[in-house]
Structure 1
């Protein structure tokens, strides 16, 4: 597409977004199918809001939505913040900025029936920058941007800048946002209609909301994180599922260039956003595929412990087995041997050898090789660990 194309907000039809329901139907249907698979499995094994899968998914969303914008957050700080937010006991580290992002995402996904208005958005943005700065630079916090300079998305080195997008001038932001928030409120109602009189699909609505908000770019900083929180809120309103089991931001981060390209192309096009909705639906499907894999692993772990419920295992043996389960099929590089077991548990070689032999006899592990080449693997049906020799 030509770089000389008018920005989407300069189009005469802005912001009357439309999409081709027939063209988007296959991608949207697959997204719903995969979400149903994930939800069904989660219900079958009773994955609640404080389950390990939910905790990991929320942590991953926090890490990924920040990383998309180049903000690297420490995993231990994020996990402790998420645990506190879910009401779990933790003595982990605390950081106001991380806590703010966790609170924003949690608010979007659990209080999704409360109105989204200017005050709420401004409080979200304030939570992201508790010190009133982005890095070492002071920014407008808790209010829409009001600077006179153009709000541009720019890359490359000084003097050779590439303008990927230019948002509406700051003076137009209040009116632009009022229209967006009015649409968001009305379109959340059952049987909501688009300007062309056709019902808005819930996933398509989330895609449009994200594109619309990012196109206005109302804040001086934090627009991406808030825009993805709006996606979370729109999805939660539609699916009525406050328990997060997947991370859409992780999918966006994995294909970060494609994410920015898709947004950029939509922002340089007209208000027929069929291609953008198709791309968005495919990302939802991919995120659910990953969540499905994670839930399958949770099921396998549960089955493993149920099969060995009556076995008399030492606590150190249980810790090592859990580590092997968490690393997955072939994830524990090189397999387990006596030396690694000694380092992991702090026991002597004789104790390590005895512990490993007991777990082989009990069926928790299987072994391959001889002498110093002996390796031990967690015994989960279907897991080969890359070893082709039959056991």
Structure 2
């Protein structure tokens, strides 16, 4: 496989700048905040890599397991199923044991962890070993009678030799940039397709391993699988084109590096919200809130800059806080008077937003934001929707 270094170079530079921004912003967060962000990113990425394969796993159970592993957040939730714990095990191994060489045994252990019962759904499969069946290994989509073969992998007889060549390359020091190596490693592994099942998930953990070798545990914050899930159709199409074309994989590498860059930019946005949250609590540390008020404020903070659609109103506060309409109205006004919430609209259209710059619509009014001056008698007033 080869690629055009000049074409890829510009996108690599952008991706590495985005990585640097993530590292810089991370330095401004406290240890607990870093762990909380890493835990959420890891949880979301685990759910995403399973979802790419059409498997739905419970995010709440994943969060509890990740919290116990990192020693942060709510660690008292339900245990995840064994196969989900296995997925978290191999994702953790890729980060914590990033310096260890990749081997046949390690890869086979990863795949076995995904199928602790020896079954994929209702089908018994070979686990902890490369495929051995005589039939061609095909990547297929579509229902029965409408199947489409996207790719046919090398025969099982050739897999051990192909994998040895892959491992020799992966463990050797190469001239490739780390992001390029991640792109090539994922493509090469998926092309060999060495296991009866689990190749996609194991192949994406290889991406985690390469990024962890470059960035350490910071790599947990970069949700590459989430991005690949968001671009799932493009992801499959790009892989298919690279597998069916000649040995020039420039288009695949360019596309992959772009996805990592976007993942870094999204992680940067998450950290912006975390920094804003930390500054918000620091600015309001002297305020005395009721349990309900603190719950509502935390809900708004957790939703992020654009996450709580329509803002907070009396009806929503009443539902979230489990209180009366009168109490909800009074406590919202108290939060406004404290400068914690800003108000938009009036009457039944009144909505409240956190007084964090950029987190509410234009025109938010609060005790920290004075209302606009009254227009002069001859002036035509302007209105905002």
1:339 aligned residue: 315
3-state SS of 1:367 partner: strand
Q: Does 1:93 align with 2:78?
A: yes
Match of 2:21 among 17, 37, 51: 37
User: 2:176 maps to what in 1?
Assistant: 200
- 3-state SS in 1 of match to 2:267: helix
Task: Report whether the alignment pairs 1:136 with 2:112.
Answer: no
2:254 match: 278
Q: Does 1:123 align with 2:123?
A: no
**Residues 116-152 of structure 1, C-alpha deviation per residue, up to 9 Å, x if partnerless?**
1011111111110111111111111111111111000
- Contact 1:173/1:216 (8 A) holds in 2: yes
Query: 1:46, CA displacement in angstroms?
Result: 3.4
- Could you tell me which residue of structure 2 aligns to residue 5 of structure 1? none
TM-score normalized by structure 2? 0.90
Matches within 5 A, 1:213-362: 213-362=189-338
Q: Say if 1:207 and 1:277, in contact at 8 Å, map to a contact too.
A: yes
1:243/1:209 CA distance change after superposition, 3 Å: closer
1:157 matched to which residue of 2?
Answer: 143
Could you give the per-residue CA deviations for residues 259-314 of structure 1, whole angstroms, max 9, x where no partner exists?
01111111012222222111111011111111111111111111111110111112
CA offset at residue 106 of structure 1? 1.0
Structure 2 SS opposite 1:85: helix
RMSD, aligned CA: 1.8
CA offset at residue 155 of structure 1?
Answer: 1.8
**Equivalent-residue separation in structure 2 for 1:29 and 1:293 (angstroms):** 19
Say if 1:225 and 1:386 are closer, same or farther in 2 by CA, change over 3 A.
farther
Shift of 1:60: 1.1
Q: What's the secondary structure of 2:220's corresponding residue?
A: coil
Q: Give SS of 2:150's match.
A: strand
Partner of 1:11: none
Query: What are the Cα deviations for residues 294-340 of structure 1, in whole angstroms up to 9, with x where unaligned?
Result: 11111111111111011111222111101111223343223222222
Is the alpha carbon distance of 1:319 and 1:112 closer, same or farther for their aligned partners in structure 2, counting shifts above 3 Å?
same
Alignment partner for residue 359 of structure 2, among 363, 367, 383? 383
Closer, same or farther in 2 for the Cα pair 1:368/1:201, shift >3 Å?
Answer: closer
Name structure 2 gaps, 5 residues minimum: 366-370, 373-385
Unaligned runs of 5+ in 1: 1-16, 193-198
Match of 1:8 in 2: none
2:159 corresponding residue in structure 1 = 173
Mapped to 2, the partners of 1:243 and 1:206 lie a distance apart of: 13
1:75 matched to 2:59 = yes
Find the counterpart in structure 1 of residue 381 from structure 2.
none
Deviations 1:96-132 (A, max 9, x none): 1111101111111221001110111111111101111
**1: distance between equivalents of 2:180 and 2:291?**
49
Alignment partner, residue 185 of structure 2 = 209
> Distance between the aligned counterparts of 1:86 and 1:309, measured in 2?
27
Question: TM-score by structure 1 length?
Answer: 0.89
